[in-house]
Structure 1
Amino acid sequence: MNKIIKIVLIVIGLIAAFLWFSLPSQDDPDAINSGAMNFMFVIMYILLAIAVVAALFFGLAKLFTTPGSIKKALFALGGLAIIVAISYGLSSTEEAEAVVKVFEDRTSSDLKTTVGTVKNIGMGLNVFFILTVIAVLLMVLPGLKKMFVK
């Protein structure tokens, strides 16, 4: 099986190299519609689909075969849900209303912005910041612990 995968990857690499050298010049106004570029996108989508299916298959297989992993996964999902709920609570409705008012005053009527949309964007930013702080702490604290506790 491993030899077959290597052969398939070599063939895909050779096809991609051939397509790379078949691309039209950047001065060509119709370069985006070239067959070589379209086929490169097809290859990219196929490889992306294979990667997603493999990641899901092996991840779920490991999840269901390792004892205690489902419990850990549920705790992680619960923690993420708590962080999302806290972030949604931190995103203020008053600030969202102010942003909507400023946005509507400065733009055309084609773009509709609602308080809910602005609040969801604020929630997403808060989730990102909280998870970033947690990740940095999880990287720094063990190093500090090793430095001071011997």
Structure 2
Amino acid sequence: MNLHKLTKIAAIVIAVLGILFLGLLMAASEDGAENKWITPLIYLSYIVLAVCIGIVLIYVLKNLFSDKDNLKKTLISVALFAAVMLVSYLLANGGEVKANGEVYSSSTTKLVGAGLNAFYILTVVAIGTMVWSGFTKIKK
């Protein structure tokens, strides 16, 4: 049995279980009996999520380590992203902030600022890449 058939059968089984649990949940009375059907649905979703993440990681790592050029490009991309995150963190301001009756520490505000800075930098890079790509297509 090949992987495609096995995946198809697993997807059908999971779909049938999900529909069964959903039907049982919808048919439950309002007196609190629905809680016994929510738990299996949550566990089913956890299992499906874990299986999907595991399969994706296996194939990504297998394909990544099988091609040296692909591995080099990936490592360069990861290093550039880490550099953007480092620059964002260094540019972020940190200080205590009081909002909604709570006091947020300087490290928390610095991390929030770093996240915003990274978002701005990556947005500018993405827009610049789209403009450059469009410009080179028009130029040809």
Range of TM-score over shorter length? 0.7 to 0.9
CA spacing shift, 1:49–1:126, aligned 2, 3 Å: same
1:102 to 94, 98, 103: 98
Segments of structure 1 that go 5 or more residues without pairing to the other structure are: none
Which residue matches 1:83? 84
Identity among equivalent pairs (%): 29
- Return the structure number with greater relative CO, CA threshold 8 A, min gap 6: 1
Q: C-alpha separation between the residues in 2 aligned to 1:143 and 1:77?
A: 25
Q: Counterparts of 1:1-150 in structure 2 under 5 Å?
A: 1=2, 2-24=4-26, 28=30, 30=32, 34-92=35-93, 96-97=94-95, 100-103=96-99, 107=101, 111=102, 113-147=104-138, 149-150=139-140
Residues 97, 105 of structure 2: 8 Å contact kept: no
Structure with the higher strand share, 1 or 2: 2
TM-score, length-normalised on structure 1? 0.79
Superposed CA offset, 1:82-133 (max 9, x none): 10111012112xxx32xx2434xx51xxx55211111011101111221222
| Structure 1 vs Structure 2 CA RMSD | 2.3
Residues 1:124 and 1:17: Cα distance change in structure 2 (over 3 Å): same
When residues 25 and 121 of structure 1 are mapped into structure 2, their CA distance, relative to the original with a 3 A threshold, is farther
Look up the equivalent residue of 2:90 and give its one-letter code: G
Structure 2 gaps, min length 5: none
In structure 2, do the counterparts of structure 1 residues 20 and 77 end up closer, same or farther at CA, with 3 Å as the change threshold?
Answer: same
CA deviations 1:1-41 (Å, max 9, x no partner) are 3222211211111111111111147993636x622211111
Normalization by structure 2: what TM-score?
Answer: 0.84
Equivalenced residue count is 138
Q: Name the CA shift for 1:25/1:135 in 2 (closer, same or farther; >3 Å).
A: farther
